[in-house]
Amino acid sequence: MAVVFAVNGERFELRDGDDPGATLLDFLRSRTRFTGPKLGCGEGACGACVVLLSTYDAAADEVSHAAATSCLTLAHGLHHRAVTTTEGLGNSRDGLHAVHARLAGFHASQCGFCTPGMCMSLAAALAGAEGKGAGPPPREGFSRLTSVEAERAVAGNLCRCTGYRPIADACKSFAADVDLEDLGLNSFWKKGDAHVSKLPPYKEGSIGAFPEFLKAEIRASLSIDRPATDMSTMTGSESSWHRPRSVEEYYKLIASDRSGTKVVAANTSSGVYREPELYDRYIDLRNIPELNSVCKDTKGVQIGAATSISQVIEILRTQGDGCKDVVFSKIADHMEKVASHFVRNTASLGGNLVMAQRDEFPSDIATILLAAGSSVCIQVSSEKLNVTLDEFLEMPPCDNKTLLLSVFIPHSTPDSVSSSAGTVNMAGDKTGSSLLFETYRAAPRPLGNAVAYLNSAFFAQVSSDGSSGGLILENLRLAFGAYGTQHAIRATDVEKCLVGKPVSASLLLEACKVLKKTIVPKEGTTHSAYRSSLAIAFLFSFLYPATKGNVKPAKAVRLNDFVASGTNGNSNSAHSVNLDVSHKETNCVKSGLYNNDHILDSCKQIVEISKDFLPVGIPTKKVGAELQASGEAVYVDDIPSPEDCLYGAFIYSTKPLAHVNSIELDPSLKQLKTVAVITVKDIPKEGANVGASTIFGPESLFGGPLTQCAGEPLGIVVAETRNFANIAAKRAVVNYSTKTLDTPILSIEEAVRRCSYFETPPFLLPQKIGEFSKGMEEADQKIYSAEVKLSSQYYFYMETQTALAVPDEDNCMVVYSSSQCPEAVQNTIAQCLGLPCHNVRVITRRVGGGFGGKAVRSLPVATACALAAFKLRRPVRMYLDRKTDMIMTGGRHPMKICYSIGFKSDGKITALHVDLFINAGMTMDISPTIPHNFIEALKKYNWGAFSYDAKICKTNFSTRSAMRGPGEVQGSYVAEAIIEHVASTLSTDAKLVRQRNIHTVESLALFHSECMEDALGYTLPSICNQLTASANYQHRLEMVQAFNKSSQWKKRGLSFATIAHKVSSRPTPGKVSILNDGSIVVEVGGIEIGQGLWTKVKQMAAFGLGQLWSDQSEDLLERVRVIQADTLSVVQGGWTAGSTTSESSCEAVRRACGIMVDRLKPLKEKLQEKQGRVSWDGLILQAKMAAVDLSAREYYIPGASGSYMNYGAAASEVEIDLLTGATTILRSDLIYDCGQSLNPAVDLGQVEGAFVQGIGYFMSEEYVTNSDGLVTSDGTWTYKIPTVDTIPRQFDVELLNSGFHKNRVLSSKASGEPPLFLAASVHCATRNAIAAARKDIHCSVSGSSSPSFFELEVPAIMPVVKEMCGLDNVEKYLKTLVGPK
């Protein structure tokens, strides 16, 4: 039986022989022309692949819609479904949808790789709201979404470029309750002139129309009587897909169970367990009625195991509202923080519980259902069993012979609870009892899309103790999970400790001691002590309000601002008790946002638009933004595969230092259509083993016979499909030996001990300032040998490394590479293959995010791809899976910094010496430039006498490379850390120390002699003053101090950071050609990586050629097209890096336009004399006839004026939760000097995006390796970049227009990298909040030699913050209440 479904209204069929393991994403990208959905992670956690799935209910004649991840959804499971991709909403030829146009118009797309997924998440939310809508239609142009719902529509989608704020604004433009004036900078209106009529129109019914042909087929299929034996089976030559329609049919299928069978409902487990497996048979459970049924009665609700989590949430909300069961509502609230909406929409309830039972999956659902007293119905062969959830979790791991049928969740009211439901020892008068229920999770992201460090749920039946006036716990269920345990557990020993006794501080302290012995993570669990402390924090949060001193008679039990329990929320119920929450800090533990909270409170953008060089300076839309939104923009992996195309995947080392004796493919995978394994032996004899090259030397393409790090490429497997190549590579058998080898160098300390260094060319080392010893003599106070350690950061571009190599005639090769430096790709491939460069043509149209990672680290991928294509004489393409990319590509340089400093009593610094140790990894890459970058960034303050020593350590880690602000981020941060240390030592505000040591014009000239700045150009002091005033810094500091005095379990911090950062332009080519019809083609060396380079270049070309008309009467902007980089067209393209390529490309184009103007001007003047006004079309027609050369090239060489200073400042305010370590960024204010911005919308996006990427580095992104140096943070499950719910709640940005400057391109300044450094303000604010906490007795750290100062790790993740506030702060607090015994 064929699988029939629709994609964007077109009919598709899957028949015998089609791979049943193929995902919808595989199908879309290989079998259709729709490449809008992108492969970003393959784990269902980034949102790049989101599509809309629509289902038709023929009986009700209704269509329902849901967002889904196409990378996890199996195509064979889509029978009679309709799929809509972003192309199905609209396109640039037939008309864009409002979703596309608004995202583009709100400047919400930069690299654009995530944009189609953003569009479909928003579209699904709009369609869903429309489907649920009742009552009158919304106002014209708006939807039924609220602004809260609109923001959360993209809460599960990742974006590495924009910083999310403009995306949230675009979403909110559809909300019925939005004030349009609150939305940010856009291309639809100017501030104060907002009106819905100016927005691209949105109409209900414009999303997800279900095809009529498919409705007809569905209706026809329902009228056919199927034989009882029909299992809806598809069988191919090698594999099959089965859809049993009953439990009996299922057991017939598995009677002949073989190892190659996979049982699926939604297949979302493949996003969790990514290890490569091949299955030749799939059994889809979703057609079994028992697994989809929902039964409701007075006792509770029984839900079929195949029901999606989103449907379960809906059922519980409906039931909870109907019978006022607050437990159901809270379970639903918690479930909304499981995964993301596009996973919950397909993931099944039963699948989640089976993963928890069988695979030790850290399930939230298992924990909360355990506390709710749930039970499950399972079938084991012919026997049906009802068991409690605890019993089910304790069973041996389920195999395919155990089928989970349904889950029963009981109602929770006093009448429905008996002693058997919890620990025995009932006490008190039952009619006076009340129920408490609460769920908790501590996770890196408030709104889900992150596994919890620990989750818990607590159910309690309490009654009032007449004699003591306290509360007695009658029944109790305390469930904990996700802490490094086999599965969720009941803490029965703690329950026994608590039940039947009046709740008091001493009892709670005793319970905490028992709990600490119960919650013991298994060996190897990360942050194990932190996880144990969370269990205590959550129990304290739940029960502390019930201790004797906090009880008042009332009519409802309230906890955490939710009505909780036996009163069912009714205020008129008698015999109830109230938990006084006047001590609100004790129980506000649920870190994160509630369902009705806005993610962003308010955001302001202040930009000044310059009209001196029109159309330069106007905030035009980014070139190609609409194409990116509609899925029409073509990235390397979107290029259709040529005929006979093969696919490559890297085999990489898992050992840090070892001999590679052999590489063999797993013999059990003979069915994989592998073609070859390409290794160092396959490099042509005329070529060389070169995979990358910089001015500091070459780097090998393949390791061997000695591998020098875990993650080093050893070869590539080439196969007929990408999936086959990936599986074969992952399961390749590499035989290692370590005989005769030293131990690997896996730390900076070991590299220092063994003197393992790379040389730093002396010309790259900045000058030292003054004499350090003299500066120290002048100091009143000194700090010696203080230490800062900084870890790495992964690029997390949304598009991983990719290339397509196509052999051409005459021994030539055409390579499409996602690279920031196509010229370097060309050189490296030519060197490897032993060909002249003119035989290698490299083309790069656009890059799906780079951040430096698509510079040197893109070269080995393109080179390996080209080598395989050259060897096999067939096209080969490579697209690294996220895990391989994270393991091989490296990232930011880890560092160790030791400093000694002298300063006066008033905070004036007199001397600083820094010892810098950089972990470069196994090869040099660009590491010799890092000391220079670090020191230059560190010099943003006047240190008095300044000296340093720098060592670049060669270690057995994967090579570290340039990442946005390489070395500069670290240097800028260390400067702030030193200022904070001095301020702490002097017990003064760090802002005062900053003011004391901010450069004067004279000291700036001393520290940055090559960038002479006058008082007008040196804007940093005025920026700091302006920020202090506009952000009400002093008032907010007082408010923070007042808050910290009154708040026990939450603390706030406010801090400041500055930029005084030098950038340098590079030589760049530009070429301008005018075609016969007057349209203009521009080519530049710079690559569009999302930074808006094409946009600025387009504006500059229109400006440059427009100089022919002094009155600016000819608008040429829409005549200009910037085209892809081609190394055989524009040579000497160089590197797109260092924030200045846009302006350099603009200047090259401006000068090329100047050449063209000089050629055309005489002709124009001659024509003007004859006929008066001359139009552009008329001029070009005459120029062609007069044989004027209509193409000009210029190679811009910046010279001495190519370096200049960038200035900016930020103030950030955070709030930390002392019980969980969660940090909320309440507000960030930024002012950044952009000179005269070439495009304020583009530059604003760069500033916001860089700042948020910096938040990731300083606060959330943990790039962890194992004891062999192999990266273990190798996917979205373990590596957490910021999401829309982790950016500042109030995010205000001002671009300062500092006016004319002759040494800069039309007086503009760079914006790509420097703003990232300002995110240090968030880290410093967090340090200040922790410092405030440590002043409280229960958070003080005993034994510290300098309690006022402490080093806060980067990133300051939740476990780090909690540890700095005391992992035992709850026990300490309770001891202060109990007093000495």
List, as one string, the DSSP characters of 710-730. TT-EEEEEEESSHHHHHHHHH
Per-residue DSSP letter, 798:
S
Distance CA 1034, CA 1039 (A): 9
What would you report as the CA-atom Rg of the chain, rounded to the nearest whole angstrom? 32
Which 3 state secondary structure label does DSSP give 1095?
helix
Phi, psi of 1378 (to 5 degrees): -75, -35
Lowest mean pLDDT among 171-180, 205-214, 412-421: 412-421
* Residue 914 tokens, joined: 């820094």
pLDDT at 469 over 90: no
Report the distance separating Cα 1053 and Cα 1041, nearest Å. Answer: 8
Asked if the model's pLDDT at residue 1263 lies above 50, the reply is yes
Distance separating alpha carbons of residues 779 and 911, to the nearest angstrom: 8
Secondary structure of residue 70 in the 3-state scheme: coil
| CA separation for the pair 154, 159 (Å, rounded) | 10
CA angle 35, 38, 43 (to 5 degrees): 145
pLDDT tier at 570 (50, 70, 90 boundaries)? Answer: very low
Q: Which of 892, 699, 872, 889 is nearest to 793 (CA)?
A: 892
pLDDT digits (tens, 9 = 90+) for 955-1010: 999 999 999 999 999 999 999 999 999 999 999 999 999 999 999 999 999 999 88
Sheet strand arrangement including 1223-1233: 605-606, 1290-1296, 1223-1233, 1203-1217, 1050-1064
Cα–Cα dist 1060/360, whole Å: 50
Question: What does the pLDDT average to over 1110-1117?
Answer: 88
What would the two tokens of residue 705 be?
């016979």
Q: Are 837 and 831 in contact (CB under 8 A)?
A: no
Neighbour tally for 133: CB within 10 Å = 14
Count CB atoms within 10 A of the CB of residue 748.
19
Running DSSP on this structure, what letter comes out for residue 1259? I
Task: Name the region of 464 (left: φ>0; alpha: ψ -120 to 50; beta: rest).
Answer: beta
Q: Quick check: 1140 and 836 in contact, CB under 8 A?
A: no
Q: Which helix (H) or strand (E) holds 1302?
A: none
At 1, is the pLDDT very low, low, confident or very high (cuts 50, 70, 90)?
confident
Token digits for 15?
Answer: 């028949």
Per DSSP, the residues of 1182-1227 read: HHHHTT---EEEEEE--GGGGEEEEEEEEEEEEEEETTT--EEEEE
Backbone angles phi, psi at 19, to 5 degrees: -65, 115
Mean pLDDT of all residues belonging to the chain? 92
Q: Over 50: is that where the pLDDT of 542 sits?
A: yes
Query: How many residues can be counted in the chain?
Result: 1381
Angstrom distance (rounded) from CA 534 to CA 544: 15
For 908-926, what is the mean pLDDT? Answer: 98
- Please tell me which residue, 1047 or 567, carries the higher pLDDT value: 1047
> In the predicted model, what is the mean pLDDT of residues 16-42?
95
- Report the SS3 class of residue 1295: strand
Q: pTM of the prediction?
A: 0.95
pLDDT of 555 reads: 32
Residue 960 · residue 712 · CB < 8 Å: no
Q: Is the Cβ–Cβ distance between 1132 and 821 less than 8 Å?
A: no
In one-letter notation, the amino acid at residue 1148 is: A
Q: Has residue 428 got a pLDDT over 50?
A: no
735 phi and psi angles, rounded to 5 deg: -95, 115
DSSP 150-173: HHHTTTT---SSS-SHHHHHHHHT
Cα distance between residue 772 and residue 784, in whole Å: 13
Percent over 70 (pLDDT), the chain: 93
* Beta-carbon contacts of residue 956 (< 8 Å; ≥ 6 apart): 656, 657, 708, 709, 710, 744, 745, 746, 922, 1269
Query: How does residue 572 score in pLDDT terms, banded at 50, 70 and 90?
Result: very low
Residue 436 has pLDDT above 90, yes or no: yes
User: Which band of pLDDT confidence, cut at 50, 70 and 90, is reported for residue 319?
Assistant: confident
Q: What is the pLDDT of residue 704?
A: 79
Distance CA 769, CA 753 (A): 29
pLDDT band with cut points at 50, 70 and 90 for residue 729 = very high
CA quadruple 707, 708, 710, 714: dihedral sign: negative
- Output the pLDDT for position 1379: 82
Residue 1181 burial class via C-beta count within 10 angstroms: exposed 0-12, middle 13-18, buried 19 and up: middle
